[in-house]
Amino acid sequence: VPEDDLSRSSHSNPGKSLVNGIKTNPASNSPKSSLSMPLGPPVYVDLAYIPNHCSGKNTDPEFFKRVRASYYVVSGNDAANGEPSRAVLDALLEGKSQWGENLQVTLIPTHDTEVTREWYQQTHEKQQELNIMVLASSSTVVMQDESFPACKIEF
């Protein structure tokens, strides 16, 4: 085999194995593997609903580091299923503490729950430090035979 052929084949293999290594990486099919991929810049939005009724199943501090909202809506009202989750409310504090900028954030609970009340009372100083306001409203909307609490949001 001529020397030129050997050098050509050795140059083509490193690139080839790297491509194959990426394609055949078994971790790439795992949902958690996306966490190891480089992340882009955070996303800034006016309003965000905390996923899954503020359940701890798929919302963690990383969500609040990446999705930076002026208003977060907490819609959970199912204590038996951990909605809203105290861990998610604490994750808001942890995530916001790493923003590096003290933007005003308003948390809008759609239901008055024991979890939300306790979290508010126990972390009030931290909320003030991080410029987080919890919006409470005693407004009620009445539609036909149904009534429910409501909050007015202005942008």
- Dump pLDDT digits (tens) for 10-19: 444 444 444 4
pTM: 0.66
pLDDT confidence of residue 110: 85
pLDDT band at 137 (very low <50, low <70, confident <90, very high): low
Higher model confidence: residue 92 or residue 26?
92
Q: Which residues are bridge partners to 149 per DSSP?
A: 140
Most confident of 79-83, 120-124, 137-141: 120-124
